Structure 1
């Protein structure tokens, strides 16, 4: 048998392999193997799903889009007078405190239908809500960005108006959001208003069927938004209870199954350095900065878009309250206990149907 000659390249390859084995080093993977870490979207995705993804991408980036558009206008000097007038208008316009400039047509625009169908998001109605009184909807949990609240209450994408005729919901958000040019106009057309006390009172006093939706947990609860969990910040949130009693508005608990599942958040348990930094940031700026990720436009496992995971908001039975101008702490606590009991009933009734992958049970952590 002819013996194969030993070349320099053979020696080099043999020597490299021997050294790698001794050092227990794994050779570099081919490019194809590295790309396998990212789950790319196939080219055969239906057109409607692509539209849904584009719509969600536009909405999740709407604030930087509005800022960029403002800077573009400022780059063209002939438009400066109009921009200056608009900026002055932003500071004197009281629409966020007066119920917005809601447009039923804009709330039911097809754009929002695509937005809700992406997850998909929907609601489950447990009982009728007669439009003969005002309502305060308490939305739980906050999640990272409260996408389910936007679908069900911030727009008519899930046909809330058909399910609850005569009830006019106003989703509430931070007053600071109404200082962002153009973004504020979109919110106002959707009926989204300021969460200030003055705004809440004005809306509820507009008459029968007026309603507000408060994401009760707020910024603090977003830090607890991890998939498979339902850790609520609620025990010390008495302001919306007192508001409902003073205005004679029925309290309606809403639990949104899946709200915490659409994003993955970095581990930030209490006591960790990350948690302390986030709490300090919240104390200074009034809002939190959760570190999270979702999917991308062209892949399924890395980016800032929410995952396509079902969101179902169960709208529970109203807790009737007796109108009182100056309720005592005991009376407020009594109504709160009834509210929490109804919220727990919703969880226990539907958790096996809508939260099968839960890691633990609902808990009120604060």
Structure 2
């Protein structure tokens, strides 16, 4: 599938099995100037309530979910407390300014230091090498020791499954296809896969399984990096929204972890009453077995028809045969609001720009989601994920090279492309296709609503909405780049760049 604080926080990103997993601090509200630039939505009356509308900085949910509250007064960092929570308790400890080269200790008891430079551009990442254990080396490749805790091994297994799920399901299908006894079952199923439209008719929120989305495996997956979710303001559940995730990265691990699982990063706690659906390529739903896996996770097609059906709540509530026989009442009608979709706007083209330490977004020509927002009167909510591009290293061919031309040809014909990426392996820290253990902090901004609803949006209306959207996205970057992107590349290379 191609899915705070102003104080410094200790880095938990690393290539090895001994990197830090210190709980993320609970942040505070955005500055008043920021809130004035992006008006707060009007909260609905009724039973809906949330505890941080006034910006008091209270915890809105568990599992590292946090709301961003007002930073402390004064420009110096490290004058407050770090607040985190777990096991239904809240803990506080003094914050201190992190210095390059300082040491820290992870919850697993392994001390790490920030003294080893990471490959490329001389950037530093804490915890790259364990101090308390000797690594076996073969040439320049570092292999994992045998005494890594079981929990970390399970986290690696969960990420391994997610990364190679599509290959596993394709292999299973071809294996069964080689057995003639399975053909009476496989042939009708293939016909169903080719002609079924349940992934684009708005039925995805009805088909999805909350039990499957809440499996312990997904908490292991989100804890591997770890993934942290933060919000700028609450979203009233009487409106519909389009979440736009940036950047695409190589595989969009952040989008999957935040919007395709439940009880992991706390989306349900931060945005109660909103049912979100992550969207992916239509072609993914034509792959046998993998299609059912995606539908149970609640994914849907990113086509225009699917987006409109989901925002309108056209998916039919399904009743079992027993319920239809004994309960004659019609299925409940969908509420007028509380529906949301998540689109990874940059798509396959943006994956070619997923370079560590950079934030290059393919956005200027991506206007389809803005037209849908105007037609459906939905708020566009920018989502900026700091660290998504740091999960893999990528070999970038020159623009005129044969490899680059082949990549663009595959993208044009197949709808996706294959970046030349690598990261770590299961038992080593230098070669493989598993992502590095590097923290990903995803900040959800303020909603941008169209000034008026229109069935046929005109170019000036789309341009005006796009201008406000990019301004909000730029504000998010400027506000939090020094908190969550401290090790970005120096100069203009490390700033937010809006491409085609």
TM-score normalized with structure 1 length: 0.89
1:115 corresponds to 2:210: no
The equivalent position to 1:231 in structure 2, one of 323, 338, 360, is 360
Task: Note if contact 1:121-1:312 (Cα within 8 Å) is conserved in structure 2.
Answer: yes
| Structure 2 match to 1:339 | 469
Deviation at 1:269, TM superposition (A): 4.3
Partner SS state of residue 483, structure 2:
helix
RMSD of equivalent CA atoms = 1.5
| Structure 1 match to 2:497 | 363
| Structure 2 match to 1:243 | 372
The 1:33/1:327 distance shift into structure 2, 3 A limit, reads: closer
Task: Note if contact 1:129-1:164 (Cα within 8 Å) is conserved in structure 2.
Answer: yes
The 1:327/1:90 distance shift into structure 2, 3 A limit, reads: same
1:1-366 matched pairs, under 5 angstroms: 35-97=138-200, 98-100=202-204, 101-156=207-262, 157-206=264-313, 207-321=336-450, 322-359=452-489, 360-366=494-500
Per-residue CA deviation, residues 163-216 of structure 1 (Å, 9 max, x unaligned), is 111111111110000011111111111111000110000000014111110100
Deviation at 1:275, TM superposition (A): 2.0
Per-residue CA deviation, residues 262-300 of structure 1 (Å, 9 max, x unaligned), is 011102343343322211221222211111001000011
Task: Note if contact 2:137-2:143 (Cα within 8 Å) is conserved in structure 1.
Answer: no
- CA separation in 1, counterparts of 2:367 and 2:156? 38
Q: After TM superposition, where is structure 1 displaced by more than 4 Å over at least 4 residues in a row?
A: none
- CA separation in 2, counterparts of 1:127 and 1:268? 41
Task: Note if contact 2:395-2:420 (Cα within 8 Å) is conserved in structure 1.
Answer: yes
Deviation at 1:75, TM superposition (A): 2.7
Task: Note if contact 2:374-2:457 (Cα within 8 Å) is conserved in structure 1.
Answer: yes
Structure 2: 5+ residue stretches without partners: 1-134, 314-335
Task: Note if contact 1:99-1:170 (Cα within 8 Å) is conserved in structure 2.
Answer: no
Q: Which moved more, 1:268-277 or 1:299-308?
A: 268-277
Structure 1: 5+ residue stretches without partners: 1-31
- CA separation in 2, counterparts of 1:57 and 1:36? 25
Deviation at 1:36, TM superposition (A): 4.1
Q: Which moved more, 1:238-247 or 1:80-89?
A: 80-89
Task: Note if contact 2:371-2:457 (Cα within 8 Å) is conserved in structure 1.
Answer: yes
Task: Note if contact 2:241-2:340 (Cα within 8 Å) is conserved in structure 1.
Answer: yes
The count of corresponding residues between Structure 1 and Structure 2 is: 335
Per-residue CA deviation, residues 234-286 of structure 1 (Å, 9 max, x unaligned), is 01111100100100100000001011010111023433433222112212222
Deviation at 1:117, TM superposition (A): 0.6
Per-residue CA deviation, residues 2-56 of structure 1 (Å, 9 max, x unaligned), is xxxxxxxxxxxxxxxxxxxxxxxxxxxxxx9971411111111111000000111
Partner SS state of residue 345, structure 1:
helix
The 1:131/1:33 distance shift into structure 2, 3 A limit, reads: closer
Partner SS state of residue 95, structure 1:
coil
- CA separation in 1, counterparts of 2:474 and 2:137? 46
Partner SS state of residue 356, structure 1:
coil
- CA separation in 2, counterparts of 1:114 and 1:55? 6
- CA separation in 1, counterparts of 2:208 and 2:273? 15
